[in-house]
Amino acid sequence: MNWTRFLEAPSSFCICRVDFFSDCVYYVSDAEMNRHLCAWLFRHSSLNGARQCHLHPQSHQFTQIHLDTRLWIFRQNRTPILHHLLNKNCPRRYCHQSKMLWKHKALQKYMEDLNKEYRTLDECLQRMSVNEGDRKSLNRRHAELAPLAAIYQEIQEAEQAIEELDSMCKSLNKQDEKQLQELALEERQTIAQKINMLYSELFQSLVPKEKYDKNDVILEVTSGRTTGGDICQQFTREIFDMYQNYSSYKNWKFELLNYTPADYGGLHHAAARISGDSVYKHLKYEGGIHRVQRIPEVGLSSRMQRIHTGTMSVIVLPQPDEVDVKVDPKDLRIDTFRAKGAGGQHVNTTDSAVRLVHIPTGLVVECQQERSQIKNKEIALRVLRARLYQQIIEKDKCQQQSTRKLQVGTRAQSERIRTYNFTQDRVTDHRIAYEVRDIKVI
Amino acid sequence: MPQTWSATGLQSLRRGASLRPRHPFQSLRPVLWTQPLTPRQLQCVQELSSRRLQRMPVQYILGEWDFQGLSLKMVPPVFIPRPETEELVEWVLEEVAQSPCAMGAQGGPLILEVGCGSGAIALSLLSQLPQSRVIAVDKGEAAICLTQENAQRLQLLDRIQIVPLDVTLEGSWAHLLTWGPMDLVVSNPPYIFHRDMEQLAPEIRSYEDPLALDGGEEGMDIITYILALAPWLLKDSGSIFLEVDPRHPELVGSWLQSRPDLSLDLVAVRRDFCGRSRFLHIRRSGAQRGCPADAWPWPLPARVPG
């Protein structure tokens, strides 16, 4: 048995150490190691998307781990208590049992405090002696804490029930009533299971959600510049098709905003709006530069049978709700093909391209996808809002000095995030040094 | 083929070719870009392209075009709806939504459209105001037929009356009163200045009906007729919505001032998405004129034409 790689996940997650082999696909020697691996892979299943990891562990391990993997994704700067807990208890290994975590005093105290806060907020809001501005923020906090408090309540009740059952069991023992005892034990079992479930729910709600996770996204792909041949464009097309298939696999709505093919059959750049459940959460790590290395089978580059390298970039922009970004019509300058001349009855063109220029920031958005100029204008406005939103997010991030290494939006990144190597049949994600074999299946 | 295209310098051909998502022979679906066309498809593309080379407007080649989300049949020489007109419809819808008094006894507003052409304005108003009724008039026979056909395609025949009518003919519109006083008059009348007609693109000049475009010396001819007959047909505070040339707001304003007998006020001017003053809202003020039969400005002929 050979530990040849020691891996650390990016600092946005808790330090998670997983040992795995670089050569073969996840052979593990013992159950414990297996659990580490499954947990880590499961957590990253959102990164993989349509790609499936080939694993040869015992499959039943997965179901157990499911509950525990939630522990892995706490943010360092948001929940110091939990992080501290995790580090303190298990420096080299992590406590997998959520129950063990629950029993920890610090967590209990934290929950008590939250509960108290919830109750005081309740009273406060009922008294109605608070002014409007405060009320809104109090309301929000109240809404946030409500599910936590509810789960906490349930856990308390369940634990109480178990205590009662325990005492009943003891008293029954004395009287030797086997049947009743069995019933009591059964009930205790079910309640214990319920408690476990509640713990996991609690942890799930405690984990702070990423701010923009539930948003829809605008996904843009652009092929890189090539020294010759069209490998980039072909690759861009395949990747775009892949995202399209992925979103139908996930039952998301995929709305084409822009599709500009390249001269010889590939794709130059394209944009789509993907809406559905937690789209941003799943796609946010896709942003950045993707590199491909392969011997192309189709297109111009296939004449010479040697390895070509190409790049393409993916940008994922979370889409704001209407209220998040306000665009003042006075700040916009709209250019259209009908703008020349008198327009109206004087002109009959089918060129419905619209270009919006946002004067204060200098952002320019074009759209010519639809037949109707009005629709094009709406689409362009939507994209403009998303880009403005992106700018606001970037500003926020800089201000907060976040340590997360999300590589969204800035195509200026010369760092490759992912390499697809077809000849060696592997996909490497450079940020987490994660490799997957068997590209054909992917 | 490429040589002939460059000879005519038609840049828009390629763009026009890609704007046919519903056309049977081409689609934006990426997969079709990689498959070769069948001989039949090639032949059709050739045919369509040759028509385009003769400067036929794309809408006539395809035989259909969109307006406000509706798909309308297009047949030469009936006037092709312009994208600006979609904003006219939007404005009318906004006003109807804001004024509850625009609802007649039977529910929706009763709207008169002068110069319906392909029926674009009438049908989009009908489809977005489910309680409304429209009287659509036009002087061209082809337009009447096309509006009829489009109304049938969209199954709106039950709420539309399509009447062949020339509003410039004396007393021709009298029988419209049988449907009762109207809430709104909407129109995209011919408003091009006669001297500008020569400078129109060949697509428009050769294929679209010049009568649907030429508005006389100052483009005001049809507009003045509409404004003159409106007070007879409109209810109190009824409105007129017009699409006009950017030079018209001033001209219309001063014309209305010279005709105080009409009791019409220019209430608002709206710009299109290119920033040009394109739309006028004129409101009728003052009580409904007395029994129209006594006070028509023109003598009634024995038989009402049309």
Residues A416 and A305 in one domain: yes
Residues A194 and A98 in one domain: yes
Residues A252 and A295 in one domain: yes
Would residue A187 count as lying in a domain?
A: yes
Contact A336 B243 (CB under 8 A): no
Widest CA span in chain A: 101
Residues A387 and A268 in one domain: no
* Residue recorded with tokens 């920031």: A361
Residues A314 and A420 in one domain: yes
Phi, psi torsion values for A6, nearest 5 degrees: -125, 125
The minimal CB distance from B84 to the residues A259, A343, A368 is found for A343
- Whether the ω angle into residue B109 lies within 30 degrees of 0, i.e. cis, is no
Instruction: Tell me which residues of chain B, numbers 27 to 86, contact chain A at a CB-CB cutoff of 8 Å.
Output: 28, 30, 33-34, 57-59, 65-66, 69, 79-80, 82-84, 86
Residues A103 and A186 in one domain: yes
Would residue A60 count as lying in a domain?
A: no
- Indicate the DSSP class of residue B174: G
Which of A21-30, A198-207, B220-229, B286-295 has the highest mean predicted lDDT (pLDDT)?
Answer: B220-229
In 10 A of CB A98, how many CB atoms? 20
For an interface test with B, give the residue of A345, A370, A371, A378 to mutate (most B CBs within 10 A): A345
Spatial distance between the Cα atoms of B212 and A104, rounded to a whole number of angstroms = 83
Residue A248 distance to chain B (closest CA, Å):
16
pLDDT band at B34 (very low <50, low <70, confident <90, very high): low
Residues A129 and A189 in one domain: yes
pLDDT for B141 equals 93
* Burial (CB count <10 Å: 0-12, 13-18, 19+), residue B278: buried
Which DSSP string corresponds to A220-289?
Answer: EEEE---SSSSHHHHHHHHHHHHHHHHHHHTT-EEEEEEEEE-TTSSEEEEEEEEESTTHHHHHGGG-EE
Q: Which residues of A touch B (CB under 8 A)?
A: 237, 241, 256, 259, 261, 265, 267, 334, 336, 338-339, 342-352, 368, 371-374, 377
Contact A343 B276 (CB under 8 A): yes
> Which residues of chain A, if any, have pLDDT below 70?
1-104, 127-135, 172-177, 204-215, 226-229, 296-305, 320-325, 338-340, 396-397, 399-417, 422-442
| Distance of alpha carbon A13 from the chain centroid | 13
pLDDT for A184 equals 78
Pairwise pLDDT comparison (B288 vs A265), residue with the higher score: A265
The minimal CB distance from B66 to the residues A336, A339, A372 is found for A372
Q: Is the pLDDT of residue B224 over 90?
A: yes
In 10 A of CB B246, how many CB atoms? 18
Residues A305 and A427 in one domain: yes
Q: How many CA atoms lie within 13 A of A343 on its CB side?
A: 25
- Indicate the DSSP class of residue A95: -
Residue B94 distance to chain A (closest CA, Å):
16
pLDDT for A86 equals 38
* CATH, residue A266: 3.30.70.1660
B16 at A interface, C-beta within 8 A:
yes
pLDDT band at B120 (very low <50, low <70, confident <90, very high): very high
* CATH, residue A365: 3.30.160.20
Spatial distance between the Cα atoms of A337 and A171, rounded to a whole number of angstroms = 88
User: What is the per-residue pLDDT across A209-267, written as a single tens digit (0 to 9) for each?
Assistant: 555 566 678 888 888 776 666 788 888 888 888 888 888 888 888 888 888 888 777 88
Question: What b/e readout covers B67-105, taking b as 16+ CB neighbours within 10 angstroms?
Answer: bbebebbbbbbbbbbbbbbbbbbbbbeebbeeeeebbbe
Q: Are B102 and B284 in contact (CB under 8 A)?
A: no
Which residues touch A409 (CB under 8 Å, ≥6 apart)?
A: A287, A315, A316, A317, A390, A394
Would residue A295 count as lying in a domain?
A: yes
Residues A310 and A227 in one domain: yes
Residues A368 and A265 in one domain: no
Contact B83 A348 (CB under 8 A): no
pLDDT for A34 equals 39
Mean pLDDT lowest among A11-15, B116-120, B263-267, B270-274: A11-15
Amino acid of residue A279: V
pLDDT for A241 equals 86
Mean pLDDT of chain B, nearest integer: 80
Q: Is the pLDDT of residue B6 over 60?
A: no
For an interface test with A, give the residue of B12, B33, B70, B82 to mutate (most A CBs within 10 A): B82
Contact B34 A265 (CB under 8 A): yes
Contact B58 A350 (CB under 8 A): yes
User: What is the per-residue pLDDT across B62-113, written as a single tens digit (0 to 9) for each?
Assistant: 888 888 888 999 998 999 999 889 999 999 999 988 876 555 555 688 999 9
The minimal CB distance from B82 to the residues A334, A345, A351 is found for A345
Q: How many CA atoms lie within 13 A of B211 on its CB side?
A: 14
SS3 category, A351: coil
Spatial distance between the Cα atoms of A328 and A356, rounded to a whole number of angstroms = 12
